[in-house]
Structure 1
Amino acid sequence: MKTGKTGLELIKKYEGFYSKPYLDPIGIPTIGYGATYYPNKVKVTMKDKPLTGKEASELLVQMLKVYENQVALLVTKPINQNQFDALVSFTYNLGATNFGKSTLLKKINVNPNDPTIRQEFEKWNRAGGIVLNGLTKRRKDEAALYFS
């Protein structure tokens, strides 16, 4: 599966576009639509050259392949496009390690339609131990997409 248009728009909405490198809420150099590294595995630095909108979109699509593959490997039950898109957004934001050890994944792998999955998304709203409104909204939107 590949991320659909709805999933891509959700990720772009919450990551936002930044042409120049910036420090994310926990101090990690980031560029474009939330990229912390490039397809060649080189980490973003604060000295990297700015990206155009087109370059950032292309980088996002390239980077999503990694997260799409991770979701496909970790989820053992059949899921639909909206569920896949929501999980790719979640994994892009939090990483496959966090997704892989989450109760969210455990519940999906038992029953992808379990209504308590919504609450599992919403638990992941902190960065550096601090609840962030943007993450709270993102998790609600991911859960809504997952169940749409």
Structure 2
Amino acid sequence: MSVNNFTYSKDGLTLTEQFEGCEYTAYQDQVGVWTIGYGHTGSGVAAGLTITQDQADALLLSDVAAACAYVNQVVSIALVQEEFDALVDFVFNLGRGAFAGSTLLRELNAGNFTAAAAQFDAWDHAGGQVVAGLLRRRQAETDLFESGLTSQSNVTNG
């Protein structure tokens, strides 16, 4: 049984929507992956594909649900909502494989929250280059994650 059983908060979803933006026509991202809607990828996404806002919303909710389930499954230490939301946005953007093998997850599951928070910024590259948008996103995730550390500290020390 999982230690965590969170759902993505409205604030978390807003973060994802803001950084992803929404495109109704498929495009290739910075590394050539076909993408549509709010960062949705997969075998069905190809040149010429178009979707509606309702379809974009449905894809987003499905993709977010998968990221939530994965974070709940692989994080073996108790989280607070802000930490969970930051991790879900990270997994949504980078994928389960990247998170599964990350130092971020290893440090987190070892209970090293501060060391885990420091790992977000390591994931600001695409195609071997630092990408300003990814750096801003990683900083936003770090800020959100660390706001959870502050609330945990207040609960523990309060």
Scaled by the length of structure 2, the TM-score of the pair is 0.85
Aligned to 2:155: none
Large movers: runs of 4+ above 3 Å: none
Identity, % of aligned positions? 36
Structure 1 equivalent of residue 122 of structure 2:
123
Partner of 2:7: 2
Provide the rounded CA distance (Å) in 2 between the counterparts of 1:69 and 1:30: 22
Give per-residue Cα distances to partners, 1:37-86, cap 9 Å, x unaligned: 2xxxx4311122x2222321221001111111111111000111111111
Quote the Cα distance in structure 2 between the aligned partners of 1:43 and 1:66. 17
For structure 1, list consecutive stretches of 5 or more residues without a partner in the other structure.
Answer: none
- Name the CA distance, whole Å, in 1 between partners of 2:145 and 2:139: 10
How large is the Cα RMSD of the aligned pairs?
A: 1.2
Which amino acid letter does the alignment assign opposite residue 43 of structure 1?
Answer: G
- Deviation, 1:15, is 0.8
Q: Secondary structure at the match of 2:35?
A: strand
Shift of 1:118: 2.5
Write the deviation string for residues 109-143 of structure 1: whole angstroms up to 9, x where unpaired. Answer: 0116x223222001100011111000000000001
Q: Scaled by the length of structure 1, what TM-score is found?
A: 0.91
User: For residue 93 of structure 1, what is the amino acid of its counterpart?
Assistant: N
In structure 2, the residue corresponding to 1:22 is in which secondary structure? strand
Aligned match of 1:100: 100
Segments of 5+ residues of structure 2 without an aligned counterpart are: 1-5, 148-158
SS in structure 2 of the partner of residue 44 of structure 1:
coil
Q: 1 CA distance for matches of 2:101 and 2:92?
A: 15
